[in-house]
Amino acid sequence: MTVAFDRNPETDGLAPDRVPAILRHRRGHMWLSLAVILAIGLVTGLGSAYLAVDNAPAFDTLELGVWQARPLQGTTEADPYSAATHARTGRVPLASGEGLIFLARSDSAGATLSPACDYLLEGQAAPARLWTLTALDAGLRLSDTGAERSGLHSRQVLRRPDGSFAVHVAARARAGNWLPSARDADGLVLALRLYDTPLTTGTGVANVPMPEITRGDCR
């Protein structure tokens, strides 16, 4: 049996529209919104990754007064942020058997170190076969001080009878122990590197002496 369908002269011969007319303009807006979301996600992801690598979170930080160190940086147990930071900057951390670096970004009063100010380091350093003291900028690069040397080491430091010492950090030469700094540097960070120290093994951390940092004149 044959079934006959009524013909509609208004629609016969017309190609069907795959997308309803009411949805045509919405499809364009959908692709634009998707592109905006992808761009925001890409920028946010790359930006957060750069900030995490550029300012690595302080995992496993050892703090002694104003001095901070990361004993695991030069080991296989280093966190991925520290490893990525050293890979990007090219800085090679001290291995666990070599020593430990302590950084000070503020004085003992809590104020951020400034290259425009003079400072006095007084006290004793943690036990080590040898230690060095240098002035760095905010990017942990050696500052161009114009002096013939960039740091001090424990074998050339003048000491008091009780074994303590005082080091002047200043752009101009000072009598006694003097660590040159750069007045026009981009920030100031003091780096104390301890070589062959028991602190790398995680022992003897309690009551370890570290020098106090006192701010002097500022210009």
Query: For the segment 25-47, what is each residue's pLDDT rounded down to a tens digit?
Result: 555 566 677 777 777 877 675 55
Pull the structure tokens for residue 191: 């780096």
User: In CATH, what class is 59-218?
Assistant: mainly beta
CA distance 152 to 57: 29
Q: Kindly report the backbone phi and psi dihedral angles of residue 150, in degrees, each rounded to the nearest multiple of 5, phi listed first.
A: -115, 0
The CA-atom distances, in angstroms, between 112 and each of 127, 138, 216 are: 26, 11, 13
| Cα 178-197-166 angle, rounded to 5 deg | 20
CA distance 116 to 52: 29
| Per-residue model confidence (pLDDT) at position 26 | 56
| Per-residue model confidence (pLDDT) at position 79 | 52
Residues 8-36 have a mean pLDDT of 59
Residues 184-210 have a mean pLDDT of 80
Confidence of residue 87 (pLDDT cuts 50, 70, 90): very low
Assign 59 to helix, strand or coil.
coil
Assign 81 to helix, strand or coil.
helix
Q: Which H/E stretch holds residue 23? A: helix 21-54
* Global model pTM greater than 0.95: no
Sketch the domain layout of the chain as residue ranges: 23-55, 59-218
Confidence of residue 199 (pLDDT cuts 50, 70, 90): confident
In this structure, are residues 109 and 216 in contact, taking their beta carbons and an 8 Å threshold?
no
**Range name among 42-46, 93-97, 196-200, 210-214 with the lowest pLDDT average:** 93-97
More confident residue, 47 or 119: 119
More confident residue, 19 or 216: 216
CA distance 209 to 38: 52
Assign 125 to helix, strand or coil.
coil
Whether residue 88 has pLDDT greater than 60: no
Q: pLDDT of 74-85, one tens digit each? A: 555 555 555 555
Phi-psi sector, 48: left (phi>0), alpha (psi -120 to 50), beta: alpha
| Per-residue model confidence (pLDDT) at position 70 | 81
Residues 42-68 have a mean pLDDT of 65
Whether residue 159 has pLDDT greater than 90: yes
More confident residue, 2 or 197: 197
Whether residue 149 has pLDDT greater than 80: yes
More confident residue, 78 or 189: 189
Residues 71-96 have a mean pLDDT of 55
